[in-house]
Structure 1
């Protein structure tokens, strides 16, 4: 027993191990001893009450409490009683008049709200034990333990040992006290009582030992408790074995649970259905549903009829595994064996469909449940709300919310949480905040998850001040921010605010000893690196080491990125070597960052040296690494080798992205190898890689540079037919090329298309067309184009107005000249 207490005390809830044995009681032992030997005070009040109680005891005892309560003289006497006087009266009554002692005790407690002393409470416990009123004794001690609280066992044990050692029913009270502590979850106190019982040679009941075993079933101390039960000489009950099997399954020790059950079967002449249910739960929890089904078969072989709980375990396991058809089959089998699916069954099926995003299936289950006469409960609605949030159907969630309110139900924290999360993901943060306010109005407390979701949503929208306000409210509500919340705030400050604000918040976390996560340090380091504040970054790095926070590869990657961005490549190379001094291995990101920096500096030799070093360390290059290599080769005009790298990527199972292809396509267009460029474009489509707008801008520009305007026009028209969304660059590139070739009318048509498609057109986009029209003396077209410009609301510049004015003057178009001069005055241009 002593070993059990020592082992369990490794994780004490509220006090240390030594406090179990040297616990300071609330009263001194001398005081307690004095109370135990207290005599009835020789005063008239105590004597009068005692006499009155005896007289009532001798008469008709029916309605004892009511008759005493209606006695005005008794009420007057009671109002002046003190706790020691009551202790004295009860001490005299409990031996000769136990029933009167009980009546008097509970009358004072229930009718007069009298606060009895510990002595009185323990005294009455012995009376209840003597009268074999065990249910009342259990309730009485549970209430007493609840009032005394955790850590009260040593003083209560002292009181029991000193004052009631000679009582014939003391062993029952000891046992019930240990049970009460165990049932109340005060395991250390229960173990202390057991330890004292062992000293007094008082045997604990199997009920008490099972209660403690149940509380310890999630720890390895469970086995020590089982040894205590065996050593006590009491035969373990079927419930004892059930607790151990359940504990092993909850600890995911299912193999040990099976072995234990096989041993227990020998004593019990076969398994119990509760054991098999526990095993099925354990295996389903680990995802081994087929193994769980084998235990279901064992039930039938052993003549045990599976109950509704057994079926629900398997149905739940199958639903989690996504085997909905088999889950429905088990539900039908359940009905064939005369068992009606209950609300848990239908909720489980609805949850299974919801997890798969099959809300139509979930609603069919609900319809069947209603047909069977079962009404949806709070769990049902929560499952449906979570399911619809998962599929993004927030409107249906609000409908369910209204239905719940109409039925007098209130959403749970979980329902509010998933709805708030769904709204934030969709960008509807204001609606999420409204739900949050509603949640607080009805008295539900928001947890750290809900606060974090809202703060993250506000930060993503750049609403930094609102996010910080909510963060402060969270702290005032004594909800401790988690790392997710802190990272959201720090990221938002560094991206949307200023780096000084970010550092101020970072320092606040550091001074409050909340800075234990290297992730927050990495965010701050990267913020410095991004803007090139490398002195501050190095200073922060040194502070991290002083604080005892271990840096990660990400930490070094941020510093290396900063040096690369500042073009201090020699320093970046030094920090690459420093990674190993901390027992870390550089990542692909580390090398790729450095390789890209050397590529930008056109130091291809250094770039390829890094690639070889990377391969020598068996660090797998990513598609970004290969893209950097491709960029380097293309800059050296080694397009053939770049294409070879592309093929190597596929051979190694690395999928290139559109950027990899675009770099090579652009190089081919520069060398006017349009045939090979379009071959690569087609290859992208064959590999299910969709070319982006950059790809088409490059191809259209390449065709225009080569003079293949018809092919460029065909490509643009084809993309328009395919509803491919292009950027304005594709149009302006072709417009300029058409103007350069003299195809002004086509350029104007294309310009019209660009305007109709809603692109924002600037004066630069117009200048090529205007200049070309004027040079070709197509003034009527120039005037029409000018009207189009003005209709689009484009602000003209001085240069275009001057070109138009000179040409209008030359052809003597006075009306148009007047309009143009008025426009120039309005715009504040020099009319020349």
Structure 2
């Protein structure tokens, strides 16, 4: 391709130097060719040459020019050409509109694409399946699945043939939003309209059922797929296996694993990570490790998901050193990215093994590497610190995250929950007072967290006293000073039946 472009550029340079009479047919051919190859400079030279020679562009000329500009991401220039057409003798047609819509969508300006679609209809032009397909793809890329559905319904109402890929995107979008019934309705409508589903469409729907915990429905759909003559691929089987493993049905998942091996399907890393995770959660760590090593033998690349799944299995079974060895091997031997989830697993495992300082070193390592902590990661750290009596340190680390742009709204609530569950009501009250004093959280939310946490640990009387008090929301006067009633007051009014 590169050699062809250079050859054409050479020929073009000769043409530009030579004197020749250009006609509209030659101009159209050149603009079309240059546009396809992304040779914008040469394309614009032809356009200027046409003007110099008084050659009137045709609709084809404009459309070839628009397509060349859009293909090379010159959307603003294409927009100006479109405006010239609107005010000129030759008006935009469906192809022109589709090209402009494609340009907007490629540039991430989906809303402009929608506006152009509506403008097209207002001018009496009928959008075709290319128009709708372009818009559905763009809306899907923006995770605007409701618009995908609305556009599909427009196509259906207008009797425009819906391509299989459009069905796949609409069904996939609905499944991602957990709207399985709507997704299945689109699937059945597709069949009623005479469109045959394919493996990808079946897989999208099966994946939706599996991820929502409806594994039986996923399996029934898999069986229907097979009975209708479709051969499931490894991706189809892997989503079923993932669903089974998430629901603790590891033996059935292993059965599908054997089916894939028997059929000669190349097992991918997603398939392996699901099985490793399922076996680990079932306490079958040796089998999980065996599968992990088998991946290398089979030439299957081990990604961070596979490493994390096995590390999680190790830490949960008390094999923290094995998890650490895997952590080092992950980066040093295979160059596999250590994710925030990797650190979350190890930090949690270290605290459970009472290796608090090592857990804190891992946290510092993660921050130094520029990996942004998630709420789950900080929860692992703060839980470990709170349970080891280092609430202040957890609060200090939380305060350090704010200047980094990491705001974990529910972090303090999680810490209060942890302390209450551990029976450390005094520390929970102190933390709640600190939050309200700094105005970090709305006192009402903290009260709710405290009330629910106290109930969960069987201290309903204490929860009722908090509910009917002014703690956190009311004020008391000390001379001329007005102060909020603190949570520590709860301890002062509580009877001596409780030990703090």
- Is 1:705 aligned to 2:419, yes or no? no
Is 1:641 the counterpart of 2:366? The answer is no
Residue-by-residue CA offset, 1:626-664 (whole Å, 9 max, x unaligned) = 332222223344444334324434665655545434433
State the Cα deviation string for residues 427-470 of structure 1 (Å, max 9, x = none). 24663343132231xxx422212222333244345444454454
Give the one of 538, 544, 548 matched to 2:260.
544
Matched, 1:316 2:35: yes
The equivalent of 1:455 in structure 2 is 171
Q: Is the 8 A contact 1:668 1:676 kept in 2?
A: yes
| Structure 2 match to 1:403 | 122
3-state SS, counterpart of residue 745 of structure 1: coil
Give the drift of 1:520.
Answer: 0.4
CA distance in 1, matches of 2:376, 2:231: 38
The separation in 1 between residues aligned to 2:354 and 2:53, in whole angstroms, is: 78
Structure with the larger RCO, 1 or 2 (CA within 8 Å, 6+ apart): 2
1:542 Cα deviation from its structure 2 partner: 1.6
1:392 maps to 2:110: yes
2:326 is aligned with 1:571: no
Q: Is the partner of 1:620 in helix, strand or coil?
A: coil
Within 2, Cα distance between the matches of 1:326 and 1:299?
11
8 A contact 1:355–1:387 mirrored in 2: yes
CA distance in 2, matches of 1:745, 1:358: 63
User: What does the per-residue CA deviation read over 1:84-139, in whole Å, with 9 as the maximum and x for residues that have no partner?
Assistant: xxxxxxxxxxxxxxxxxxxxxxxxxxxxxxxxxxxxxxxxxxxxxxxxxxxxxxxx
> Residues 428 and 566 from structure 1, CA distance in 2 versus in 1: closer, same or farther, beyond 3 angstroms?
same
Gaps of 5+ in 1: 1-251, 256-278, 721-725, 751-767, 777-832
The answer as to whether partners of 2:218 and 2:240 remain within 8 angstroms in 1 is yes
On the 8 A contact 2:242/2:275 being kept in 1, the answer is yes
For the residues of structure 2 that align with 1:356 and 1:729, how far apart are their CA atoms?
52
Q: Supply the distance in 1 between the matched residues of 2:493 and 2:42 (Cα, whole angstroms).
A: 79
Q: Distance in 1 between matches of 2:372 and 2:82?
A: 45
Give per-residue Cα distances to partners, 1:31-87, cap 9 Å, x unaligned: xxxxxxxxxxxxxxxxxxxxxxxxxxxxxxxxxxxxxxxxxxxxxxxxxxxxxxxxx
Map 1:679-694 to 2 at 5 A: 679-688=396-405, 690-694=406-410
String of CA shifts for 1:240-271, please: whole Å, max 9, x gaps: xxxxxxxxxxxx4x53xxxxxxxxxxxxxxxx
Cα distance between partner residues in 2 of 1:497 and 1:743: 40
2:346 to 629, 640, 643: 629
Listed as ranges, the matches of 1:241-280 within 5 Å are 252=1, 255=3, 279=4
1:469-499 superposed Cα distances (whole Å, 9 cap, x missing partner): 5434534655342333111121133244732
Matched, 1:660 2:394: no
1:800-811 aligned within 5 A: none
Match in the other structure for 1:435: 154
The answer to whether the 8 A contact 1:423-1:431 is kept is no
- The structural deviation recorded for 1:616 is 6.1
After TM superposition, give the deviation of residue 414 of structure 1 in Å: 0.6
**Superposition map of 1:143-182 within 5 A:** none
Q: How is 1:155-554 mapped onto 2 (pairs within 5 angstroms)?
A: 252=1, 255=3, 279=4, 283=5, 293=9, 295-304=11-20, 308-309=27-28, 312-313=31-32, 316=35, 331=47, 335-336=51-52, 338-344=54-60, 346-347=62-63, 363-387=79-103, 391-393=109-111, 396-397=115-116, 399-404=118-123, 406=124, 409-421=125-137, 425-428=144-147, 431-440=150-159, 444-475=160-191, 479-496=195-212, 498-554=214-270
- What are the residue-to-residue correspondences of 1:48-59 with 2, within 5 Å? none
CA distance 1:473–1:744, shift in 2 (3 Å): closer
Q: Is the 8 A contact 1:448 1:481 kept in 2?
A: yes
Shift of 1:523: 1.0
Q: Over alpha carbons, which structure has the higher Rg?
A: 1
Comparing 325-334 with 368-377, greater Cα deviation is found at 325-334
Aligned residue in 1 for 2:472: 747
Q: Which residue of 2 aligns with 1:788?
A: none
Distance 1:358 1:699, change over 3 A: farther
CA distance in 1 between counterparts of 2:92 and 2:344 reads 56
With over 3 angstroms needed to count, the CA separation of the structure-2 counterparts of 1:328 and 1:646, relative to structure 1, is: farther
Q: 1:567 to 1:411 in 2, by over 3 A?
A: same
Residue 318 of structure 2 aligns to a residue whose secondary structure is: coil
Name stretches of at least 5 consecutive residues in structure 2 with no aligned partner.
Answer: 420-425, 455-461, 476-485, 495-500
CA distance in 1, matches of 2:309, 2:233: 24
- Alpha carbons of structure 1 residues 509 and 642: separation in structure 2 relative to 1, 3 Å: same
Q: Is 614-623 or 518-527 further displaced after alignment? A: 614-623
Following superposition, the deviation at residue 328 of structure 1 comes to 6.8
How far apart, in 2, do the equivalents of 1:421 and 1:704 lie? 52
Is 2:341 aligned against 1:618? no
**Structure 1 counterpart SS, 2:473:** helix
Q: Distance in 2 between matches of 1:655 and 1:292?
A: 49
- Change over 3 Å in CA distance of 1:572–1:718 after alignment to 2: closer
